[in-house]
Amino acid sequence: MYKWLIIGGGIQGSTLAVHLVKSGKVPIQDLVVIDPHEQPLECWKRNTGRIRMNYLRSPSVHHMDTEPFSLQTYADKSQWPEVFFGRYKRPSLSLFNQHCETVLDEIHIDQAWKRGMVTDLRRRNGLWEVRTDASETIMSERVVLAMSFSQQSCWPEWAKPFQNDGIYHVFDRDVQGLGQEGGSAAVVGGGITAAHYAIKLSDDGYDVTMLVRHPFRTYDFDSVRAGLARNI
């Protein structure tokens, strides 16, 4: 029986795990993180790599550790190249990812990691009973839902008949049909993820058209929205 059970080992779930352990609220032995991937942050790394994100969308104080300037201190000690960008010191993706791995190693996240999918959650005798796709039952005092929205992609009705048939969601595990350079592509969506992906495709030699509902809007801080990529 565990004190804390976190469903999802992405940025949010892993950050919570770090906070719980480093703040002394729970030892790693009393914590379990259930996630379908082999290691933390797999979806994050796949998606940010797919859109070729070079720098994060948020400032340097937004990271996984508990101390506000932990990322800057880590960068200074490791003498990381191309560390921060712009007025708000947005960290490079490579620096951010390495810092995340270091922080997770510090709390020994491997001891709490359990690969699997949760299939059922119910309250029983004052505890939470969680069942997984491996027919395993886990009991915990508290449960936190930290599933990523990239695991539950939002498809508009008009696009559903064409899934994996020339139209793909930017958060799909595998995006087929866009592997070779050149050709034409349309990106449906005007958020920052769509913009990142459009730039990446353009750099790869595609003739890119963005289909948006409104003029582009710019902000100093993060605004994440999903985009659709279509090979035409």
Place of tokens 């960068």: 75
Span 101-114, average pLDDT = 98
Residue at a domain's end among 134, 151, 168: 151
- 140 plus 170 within the same structural domain: no
Q: What is the pLDDT of residue 226?
A: 36
- 7 plus 86 within the same structural domain: yes
The band of 224, judged by pLDDT with boundaries at 50, 70 and 90, is very low
Q: What is the pLDDT of residue 95?
A: 95
Cβ neighbours, 10 Å, residue 31:
24
- 126 plus 206 within the same structural domain: no
Measured distance CA(20)–CA(11) in Å, rounded: 14
Measured distance CA(3)–CA(33) in Å, rounded: 12
Q: Give every strand in the sheet of 184-188, ordered side by side.
A: 167-169, 228-231, 184-188, 207-211
- 22 plus 107 within the same structural domain: yes
* CB-CB contact of 33 with 145 (8 Å): no
CATH number at residue 95: 3.50.50.60
- 11 plus 56 within the same structural domain: yes
Overall domain count for the chain = 2
- 133 plus 194 within the same structural domain: no
- 147 plus 164 within the same structural domain: no
For 111-162, what is each residue's pLDDT tens digit?
999 999 999 999 999 999 999 999 999 999 999 999 977 777 788 899 888 8
Range(s) of the domain holding residue 186:
160-231
Query: What is the DSSP track for 188-204?
Result: E--SHHHHHHHHHHHHT
DSSP-based three-state secondary structure for 22: helix
Lowest model confidence (mean pLDDT) among 161-170, 189-198, 223-232: 223-232
- 219 plus 104 within the same structural domain: no
Residue at a domain's end among 151, 175, 207: 151
Residue at a domain's end among 151, 171, 206: 151
Measured distance CA(114)–CA(91) in Å, rounded: 30
Most confident of 84-93, 103-112, 198-207: 103-112
For 206-220, what is each residue's pLDDT tens digit?
999 999 998 888 777
The band of 170, judged by pLDDT with boundaries at 50, 70 and 90, is confident
Q: What is the 3-state secondary structure (H, E, C) of 124-151?
A: ECCEEEEEECCCCEEEEEEEEECCCHHH
